[in-house]
Amino acid sequence: MTVTLADVAARARVSPATVSRVLNGNYPVAASTRERVLRAVDDLDYVLNGPASSLAAATSDLVGILVNDIADPFFGIMAGAAQTEIGGPGDGSGRAGGEKLAVVCNTGGSPERELTYLTLLQRQRAAAVVLTGGAVEDPAHQAAVSAKLAKLADAGTRVVLCGRPPLPDGEAVVAALAFDNRGGGRRLTEHLLSLGHRRIGYVAGPLERTTTRHRLEGHREAMRAAGLVGDEERLTVHGPYDRRSGYDATLELLRREPEVTAVVAANDTVALGASAAIRDRGLRIPEDISVAGFDDLPFSVDAVPALTTVRLPLFEAGARAGRLAMGKETPPPGGIATIAAELMVRGSTAPPRV
Amino acid sequence: MTVTLADVAARARVSPATVSRVLNGNYPVAASTRERVLRAVDDLDYVLNGPASSLAAATSDLVGILVNDIADPFFGIMAGAAQTEIGGPGDGSGRAGGEKLAVVCNTGGSPERELTYLTLLQRQRAAAVVLTGGAVEDPAHQAAVSAKLAKLADAGTRVVLCGRPPLPDGEAVVAALAFDNRGGGRRLTEHLLSLGHRRIGYVAGPLERTTTRHRLEGHREAMRAAGLVGDEERLTVHGPYDRRSGYDATLELLRREPEVTAVVAANDTVALGASAAIRDRGLRIPEDISVAGFDDLPFSVDAVPALTTVRLPLFEAGARAGRLAMGKETPPPGGIATIAAELMVRGSTAPPRV
DNA sequence: CTGTTAGCGCGTTCAA
DNA sequence: TTGAACGCGCTAACAG
């Protein structure tokens, strides 16, 4: 029923070994022989059996890209960029030559699913794994992930971190590309302080996430440097990285402290929800309250008013992670690179009313 | 170095077959034996060899989800929903039991990459494939995709279409869930007409895409029914489904016909760009120009003013596609279901100035 | 309920 | 430059 290497060999009147060599292009094969084999492949519509090939060769062409939320462009942009580098441009023949199969796996932010996917990829003997976005900070989970990654690396899988802080013992990892969330958060709040804001609310991301913590730390660093201490807890509300959470948390913030003059959101999506809440309360942006986000997703510049935020080079980072996973680029010194975050001042922030 | 089934069997003092049976849970195994085996698995940190298992069983647990643009929430929402149904909730053990490996593949809208991914999935003997979003209408490519899907189906892969029109000869496909793009497009334009608009510009998607064509056809149906004909070409500009294209195309539209009182965009993302262009030209929404989108992505309700659009139940459709791919749900009669689109009237549309 | 046997389809030695 | 032979690790009969 299904055509195998042997069928192709028979038709081309060579040995299976020769067909294999032609297909993999690793060994010298006479041009005329190769010709015959390729014709037989086309005639028979032969498709390599991936599992058999992976079993024999003890490697596979699968590359996994783990994301926390596939519906969030933050991850989509990184994953898409990585996939482009990994999948290659395609040869247009649709015949699928030496390409890797770059696939993205959606953990939904769940530690269990993250581990499950890693196991599944380990089971498939994946050629590489790219972990994107912030990590969950639960020590047990971190240890489990580290152990799993070590085992993957051990089995020859290349592990790359993208937008995620390095592992405690980074040995298992080819490279870690970390965003400067702390620095970005600090500069964003410094910007607000320099405009004259003092009562600044913070809509933070979920607890126990590195991204959440680092951005918040940057914010508090700036606040502390300005002598603003003591109100941290009251002026911070945590919630998921989504629009709805931004809306609800901002309402809560305004209830706790009606006098806030600025709201900093964990990311742009949350900022959108925050803005909606502020408007629904009859307040204007930025005249009554300034709003700022983080990430500079494509829609942020189109918000009204345009959103002040911190730009992360998501596409570039994803592409680089993809190249590192493919071994097409040499890792940074020490395997760790910090990726700069750039403050983007736009219309949603202005001096507070006096 | 790497531990195999045989090692586990030796340690548990059973035969390899028994270990296999415990792991796959398909055959009755005595509780005490199972216990011993599972302990050995844990002790040895054994991970099943996916390729070997797939080779022997002639099936794999890989499920591919193809999307046109992974950075677009339109696809992310569908893919995420599908993945949730397919991957299962996970058992929390991180041990990866009977789960399928649901992976998303980003074609970037390129026909070649679409075919390449299908070949790669065929090579892996994927258990199922879900194709999401509009198809490219080039006949040669459609024929190639149909042929490929037929071969996949032949080899036992379940093929599901989600948000994509049925194949000409739908036999290869388990089910096709098609959005009512035409009806949605028609109702949207009828809404504008009922407000009194007559000069309506249309920022369409890329040429040769089913989604583009169907939405545009719905629009023109409504226009024609209102007796508005002759200006179709002049009032339509095509471009990619992105923010930038919406911006540029709208500028072009305003140049061609400064008197437009409404702009309909191919989707919400494009509508965002269109809105920005309109504002940059010093015009107000909706007082000077009404704007409408399509899809009702999460950010659309937060646009200012909130975007009038057509809601597509992306999450529900994706989840259903996932269940169909798993055989957890019986296909609709004839294998084809049309999914309704709901008009969402919000602040971005209003009667034209007189 | 459990063990034995025989491949699954391919990559890779080793010879020729 | 090519062919023959072996084994990758596992599942699926078939016995028992």
Residue ending a domain, choose from A295, A310, A325: A310
pLDDT of residue B289: 98
Total H helices, total E strands in chain B: 12, 12
B126 in a structural domain: no
Q: Could you tell me the residue range of the domain that residue A257 belongs to? A: 181-310
A242 in a structural domain: yes
State chain B's mean pLDDT as an integer: 93
Torsion of the alpha carbons at B211, B217, B218 and B221, rounded to the nearest 10: 180
Separation of A18 CA and D5 C1' (Å):
14
- Identify the weakest region by mean pLDDT among A180-184, B229-233, B246-250, B296-300: B229-233
pLDDT of residue B192: 98
- Scanning the structure block, which residue is given the tokens 């028994």? B18
Q: What band does A169 get if pLDDT is binned at 50, 70 and 90? A: confident
Partner-chain residue, chosen from B104, B124, B272, that has the shortest CB–CB distance to A104:
B104
The pLDDT of B307-336, averaged and rounded, is: 96
A173 in a structural domain: no
pLDDT at B99 over 50: yes
pLDDT of residue A88: 56
pLDDT of residue A91: 44
pLDDT at B152 over 90: yes
Structural Rg of chain B based on CA atoms? 25
pLDDT of residue B92: 41
A104 in a structural domain: no
pLDDT at B314 over 70: yes
Separation of B24 CA and C7 C1' (Å):
20
Give residue-wise pLDDT tens across range A276-301: 999 999 999 999 999 999 999 999 99
A344 in a structural domain: no
pLDDT at A94 over 50: no
Give residue-wise pLDDT tens across range A214-271: 999 999 999 999 999 989 999 999 999 999 999 999 999 999 999 999 999 999 999 9
Is A79 an interface residue toward B (CB < 8 Å)?
yes
B12 in a structural domain: yes
Separation of B35 CA and C3 C1' (Å):
18
Contacts of A24 (CB under 8 A, 6+ apart): none
Q: Which amino acid does the sequence have at A79?
A: A
pLDDT of residue B172: 76
A283 touches strand D (CB under 7 A): no
A277 in a structural domain: yes
**Contact residues on chain A for B121, CB-CB shorter than 8 A:** 101
Contacts of A160 (CB under 8 A, 6+ apart): A128, A129, A130, A131, A173, A174, A175, A176, A177, A321, A324, A325
Do residues A296 and A344 lie in contact, with contact meaning Cβ atoms separated by under 8 Å?
yes
Number of domains present in the structure of chain B:
2
**Chain D bases near protein Cβ (<7 Å):** 1-5, 7-13
- Identify the weakest region by mean pLDDT among A57-66, A86-95, A139-148, B293-302: A86-95
pLDDT of residue B27: 81
Which segments of chain B does DSSP mark as H helices, in order?
A: 5-12, 16-24, 31-44, 50-57, 73-87, 111-123, 139-154, 181-195, 210-225, 243-256, 268-280, 314-326
pLDDT at B76 over 50: yes
pLDDT at B29 over 90: no
pLDDT of residue B98: 59
Scanning B125-164 for CB atoms below 8 A from A yields: 125, 144, 151, 155
| Residue A228: CATH number of its domain | 3.40.50.2300
Torsion of the alpha carbons at B287, B293, B297 and B299, rounded to the nearest 10: -30
Structure-block tokens of residue B88 = 């299962």
Chain B nearest C-alpha distance from A61 (Å) = 9
Phi, psi (5° rounding) for residue B24? -90, -15
| Residue B3: CATH number of its domain | 1.10.260.40
Do residues A198 and A244 lie in contact, with contact meaning Cβ atoms separated by under 8 Å?
no
A286 in a structural domain: yes
**Contact residues on chain B for A92, CB-CB shorter than 8 A:** 112
Give residue-wise pLDDT tens across range A108-130: 999 999 999 999 999 999 999 99
